[in-house]
A and B are shown apart, each in its own frame.
Chain A
Amino acid sequence: MARRKANVNESSCVACGVCASQCPKGIISIFKGCYAVIDTESCVGCGICAKACPANAITVNEVQEVANGSK
């Protein structure tokens, strides 16, 4: 099963927090003022954060669920 998840490129993140203020699930936090961290488990892959990010630091990708060998 494939699912979409948002992913932060830590080196281009400017820690502005726009993504965190927009995520409908409220699962983004700014780690020590350095970069955004997403709770990937709860991410629904809506891409709202990526659309809001001014630094092009978030991408939403398909991820393969490898759990239980059901690739």
Chain B
Amino acid sequence: MAANNKKKHWYQYLWIWSIVYFSLGFFNILFAWLGMLDFIIPLIFAIFGGNKWFCNNMCGRGQLFWVLGRNLKCSRQKPAPNWMSSKWFRYGFLAFFMTMFGNMIFQTYLVFSGAESLRKAIKLFWTFKVPWKWAYSTSIFPDWVAQFSFGFYSLMLTSTLIGLIVMVLYKERTWCSFCPMGTMTQGICKLKAKK
């Protein structure tokens, strides 16, 4: 990844994990739960360490954009418009993302309570339904566990697709300038640094 001769660490290969993650979810949606690691680990670093070590060193998604954009030259490498990394857009996108996350939890609750039945589909860009039946038949888990998987996988795939689009159009890691996890962890770090 780096352009220099610094020693390579295992965590610099986590972009492979990003690909593995989406592949696993293609075959069995329950693997979507593993994506929670990408939510919890950065928060642990931010809350307890007061740093963005996750973003800075071990985020597989950021690395994937770099590998595709820089190493495989899939990016135009043009500066993104400044509003894309502006505070109002970053926090606005974070708010939107959290709302959608909440909605996903609510859908899970509806299945849990029996008000709705499990829908074996993923939703891209919060709009387009894509059938995903093959990835789940039955398991030892209750239906809500699968419903969460479909919802969470949709969220992960949608955000990666947005990231890929801005990677092609702008810089390799333009996604990182408004990534909700990046915004959230930086926000936490700033609060901690003030103390």
Contact = CB atoms under 8 A, between A and B. Distances in A.
A12 interface: yes
Contact of B79 (A15, A30, A33, A56): A56
A51 B170 contact: no
B56 A30 contact: yes
A52 B175 CA distance: 13
Given A51-B77, A55-B177, A14 B182 contact: yes
Interface residues of B, number: 42
Grouping DSSP codes into helix (H, G, I), strand (E, B) and loop, the B interface class, with mixed when no group exceeds half, is helix
B80 interface: yes
Interface of A: 12, 14-18, 20-24, 26, 30-34, 48, 51-57
Interface of B: 1-4, 6, 45-46, 49-53, 55-57, 62, 66, 77, 79-80, 82, 85-86, 90, 170-178, 182-183, 185-186, 188-190, 192-193
29 contacts: A12-B82, A12-B85, A14-B178, A14-B183, A15-B186, A16-B52, A16-B173, A16-B176, A16-B177, A17-B52, A17-B56, A18-B173, A21-B2, A22-B2, A30-B51, A30-B52, A30-B56, A31-B193, A32-B50, A33-B52, A33-B186, A33-B193, A52-B171, A53-B171, A54-B170, A54-B171, A54-B174, A55-B80, A56-B80
